[in-house]
């Protein structure tokens, strides 16, 4: 008896729905970000990465790399165990202190990834609140959706960023019932920002706990890179801040920061924290170096915002359909899964530009896009080359450019 058939049918379904994912085999070159080598089927070729979540290039920063090398040389490659059984290493303890301080909380807890932080953090917190109801923003990331699902408690989904709807759902509950509001600070696909203060107002009025995902904002927004809640002056009103060490901080790992009892309870009850090997000391030391650098240095944040504004302006000027966003995320809309994939393939093959197509289920059907993430290292020359390449691809695929450009021909 072979079961192969089931797997090939499942894969065929993905192909048919144009959802089959192909990964680009990349070799990043330390010190040359965003330049990289692409191991194409025909051999290695130079490319420029335009879709990295290493938003500030910290994964390539000399301080971060040296912290990693120095710590690995001194302490070895792995943590050697779970947190409880010999895996709690000193750089990890220091990292948790650093994260607690960054977010102005009493304590922090590091997980293997941001995904795991949500997937195990949310159900653990909700599970410790008797008869809890979770109120989750409709556009929350899959890791939060999975966390909510695992909680096995009642859930209510509020329309994305719609505080009126959130209030309706809150008001329908008795005041005494424990409630957990879960949302993102900055939504990674559209680059829009949550109305944090209004959510905190409602949480206080209806006696709810707040859980904010700052994965796409920590390090990049707010004083010292403490995130959007800090920028809005609302950090002290947020109960749990969740984040990643893999985006602005350029490494790997996730965390939550909160008051000491919440952190101690999650530490004591969360299976995704307890039953897995701790992060290697070298990764923790590198993440701490990145956090400390970004706490003290504003120039990466300023340049990041300036570059994102420049990319938006140049692409708009070229007549490309840039979705307006107030943040560093630059979505260029294709609105067709097949063409989105073709646009990405053409950019790579003809122009040496790597930007992954974003299709369903990551975004809603009909809103397929190229999601550009400018970094401080994308200079004017690269931005102009990107605009030219996109216009060329748009023409090849018969995608609409705004008339100003066509009229100028």
The catalytic residues are 247
| Secondary structure (3-state) at 310 | helix
**Sign of the C-alpha dihedral, residues 16, 10, 141, 204?**
positive
Q: Is 141 in the site for ligand PMP (CB under 6 A)?
A: yes
By CB under 6 A, residue 184 contacts ligand PMP: yes
Any residues with CB less than 8 A from the CB of 10 and at least 6 apart, and which? Answer: none
> What residue number has its CB nearest to ligand PMP?
114
User: CB-wise, 166 or 358, nearer to ligand PMP?
Assistant: 358
Shortest Å distance, C-beta 241 to ligand PMP: 12
Q: 288 vs 42, 71, 79, 166, 257, CA distance in Å? A: 39, 12, 16, 36, 15
Is residue 215 at the binding interface for ligand PMP, with CB under 6 A as the rule?
yes
CA atoms of 303 and 105, how far apart (whole Å): 28
> Minimum distance between the CB of residue 78 and ligand PMP, rounded to whole angstroms?
19
Comparing CB distances to ligand PMP, the nearer of 216 and 371 is 216
Q: Give me the least distance between CB of 151 and ligand PMP, in Å please.
A: 16
213 counts as binding ligand PMP under rule CB under 6 A: yes
- Min dist. Cβ of residue 227 to ligand PMP (A): 12
Size of the site for ligand PMP (CB under 6 A): 14
Nearest to 202 by CA among 172, 164, 241: 164
121 is an interface residue for ligand PMP by CB under 6 A = no
Question: CB burial class (10 A; 0-12, 13-18, 19+) of residue 130?
Answer: exposed
Select 179 or 216, whichever has its Cβ closest to ligand PMP.
216
Residue 124, interface with ligand PMP (CB under 6 A)?
Answer: no
State the minimum distance, in angstroms, from the CB of residue 208 to ligand PMP.
20
- Does 254 help bind ligand PMP (rule: CB under 6 A)? yes
Q: Does 373 bind ligand PMP (CB under 6 A)?
A: no
Nearest CB to ligand PMP, comparing residues 244 and 344:
244
Which of 14-22, 39-47, 113-121, 273-281 is the region at the interface with ligand PMP (rule: CB under 6 A)? Answer: 113-121
Would you count residue 115 as binding ligand PMP (CB under 6 A)?
yes
User: In whole angstroms, what is the distance from residue 269 CA to residue 120 CA?
Assistant: 9
Integer Cα distance of 344 and 353 in angstroms? 8
Q: Which stretch in 84-92, 93-101, 114-122, 371-379 sits in contact with ligand PMP by CB under 6 A?
A: 114-122
Tokens of 114: 């941001």
CB of 189 to ligand PMP, least distance (A): 9
Which residues face 183 on adjacent strands?
A: 212
Q: Which of 102, 151, 224, 246 binds ligand PMP (CB under 6 A)?
A: 246
User: Judged by CB under 6 A, which stretch of 65-73, 112-120, 264-272, 338-346 contacts ligand PMP?
Assistant: 112-120
Q: Is residue 114 a contact point for ligand PMP (CB under 6 A)?
A: yes
Q: What is the DSSP letter of 112?
A: S
Reference 87, options 95, 96, 78; nearest CA is 78
Q: Looking at beta carbons, which pairs linking 168-177 to residues 24 or more positions away fall under 8 Å?
A: 169/135, 170/135, 170/202, 170/205, 170/206, 170/208, 171/206, 173/133, 173/206, 175/206, 175/207, 176/207, 177/131, 177/132, 177/133
For tokens 């003809």, the residue is: 350
User: Distances in Å between the alpha carbon of 272 and those of 117, 119, 128?
Assistant: 8, 8, 15
Q: Residue numbers of the site for ligand PMP (CB under 6 A)? A: 113-115, 118, 141, 143, 184, 188, 213, 215-216, 244, 246, 254
């Amino acid at each position: 008896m072979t079961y192969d058939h089931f797997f090939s049918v499942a894969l065929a379904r993905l192909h048919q729905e144009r959802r089959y994912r192909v990964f680009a085999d990349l070799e990043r070159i330390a010190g040359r970000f965003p330049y990289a080598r692409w191991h194409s089927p025909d051999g290695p070729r130079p490319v420029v990465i335009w879709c990295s979540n290493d938003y500030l290039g910290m994964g390539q920063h000399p301080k971060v790399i040296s912290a990693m090398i120095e710590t690995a040389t001194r302490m070895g490659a792995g943590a050697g165990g779970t947190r409880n059984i010999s895996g709690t290493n000193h750089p990890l303890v220091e990292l948790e202190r650093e994260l607690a301080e960054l977010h102005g909380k009493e304590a922090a807890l590091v997980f293997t990834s941001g995904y795991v932080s949500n997937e195990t953090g949310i159900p653990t917190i909700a599970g410790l609140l008797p008869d809890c109801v979770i109120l989750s923003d409709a556009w929350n990331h899959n890791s939060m959706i999975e966390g909510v699902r695992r909680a096995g408690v009642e859930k209510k989904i509020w329309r994305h960023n719609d505080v009126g709807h959130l209030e309706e759902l809150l008001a329908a509950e008795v005041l005494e019932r424990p409630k957990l509001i879960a949302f993102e600070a900055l939504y990674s696909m559209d680059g829009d920002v949550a109305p944090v203060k209004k959510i905190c107002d409602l949480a206080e009025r209806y006696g709810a706990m707040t859980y904010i995902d700052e994965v796409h904002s920590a390090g990049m927004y707010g004083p010292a890179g403490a995130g959007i809640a800090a920028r809005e002056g609302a950090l002290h009103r947020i109960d749990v801040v969740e984040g990643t060490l893999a985006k602005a901080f350029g490494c790997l790992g996730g965390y939550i920061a909160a008051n000491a009892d919440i952190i101690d309870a999650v530490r004591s009850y969360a299976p995704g924290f307890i039953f897995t090997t701790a992060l290697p000391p070298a990764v923790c030391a590198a993440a701490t170096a990145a956090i400390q650098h970004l706490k003290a240095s504003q120039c990466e944040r300023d340049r990041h915002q300036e570059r994102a504004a420049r990319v938006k302006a140049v692409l708009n000027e070229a007549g490309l359909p840039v979705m307006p966003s107030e943040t560093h995320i630059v979505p260029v809309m294709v609105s067709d899964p097949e063409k989105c994939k073709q646009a990405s393939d053409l950019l790579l093959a003809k122009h040496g530009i790597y930007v992954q197509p974003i299709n369903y289920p990551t975004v809603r059907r009909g809103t397929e896009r190229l999601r550009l993430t400018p970094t401080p290292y994308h200079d004017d020359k690269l931005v102009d080359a990107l605009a030219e390449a996109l216009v060329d691809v748009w023409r090849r695929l018969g995608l609409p450019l705004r008339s100003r450009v066509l009229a100028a021909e």
